[in-house]
Amino acid sequence: MTVTPQDIITLAAAPVVVVLLIVVVRARRQSYARHLEEVTEAEVCDHLRPAYDLLRSRGHHVVRVGQKAADLPLEVHLAPAFDPKQVYADAELAEPAFVSERNVLYCKEDWCELHPPG
């Protein structure tokens, strides 16, 4: 069996590719997390801002943000779990914000929701 220059290049390049893949995936995850935070900071309504700020101060982070359709509210999903009723009371929220029947913090004026996981 003879070793060709192509084999040597392949063996030398494989570890480089693995390290590069790890670095790129890590950078992409960090970039995505920053993007979620920036979008949420810009889009969460003033009525739910105290609750969002309270949750962020408690170590919660955004895991998903988006709108399923144009006629549905903006959904901000945060982790770890929290009790929307307790956050409503702690943040001293008032109308038009309320805890919906789906157990999420919801602003009916600005169509914005803060969701616990699950």
For 28, 42, 88, 98, the CA distances from 48, given in Å and listed in that order, are 29, 12, 9, 9
Q: How far apart are CA 48 and CA 82, in angstroms?
A: 15
- Does residue 1 surpass a pLDDT of 80? no
pTM value is 0.80
- Does residue 104 surpass a pLDDT of 80? yes
Quote the tokens at residue 64.
């998903």
Q: Find the range with the poorest average confidence among 23-27, 66-70, 84-88, 89-93.
A: 66-70
**Domain assignments of the chain as residue spans, ordered by start:** 5-115
Q: If we measure between CA atoms, which residue out of 44, 66, 43, 70 comes closest to residue 55?
A: 44
> What local confidence, expressed as pLDDT, does residue 28 receive?
95
81-94: average pLDDT:
93
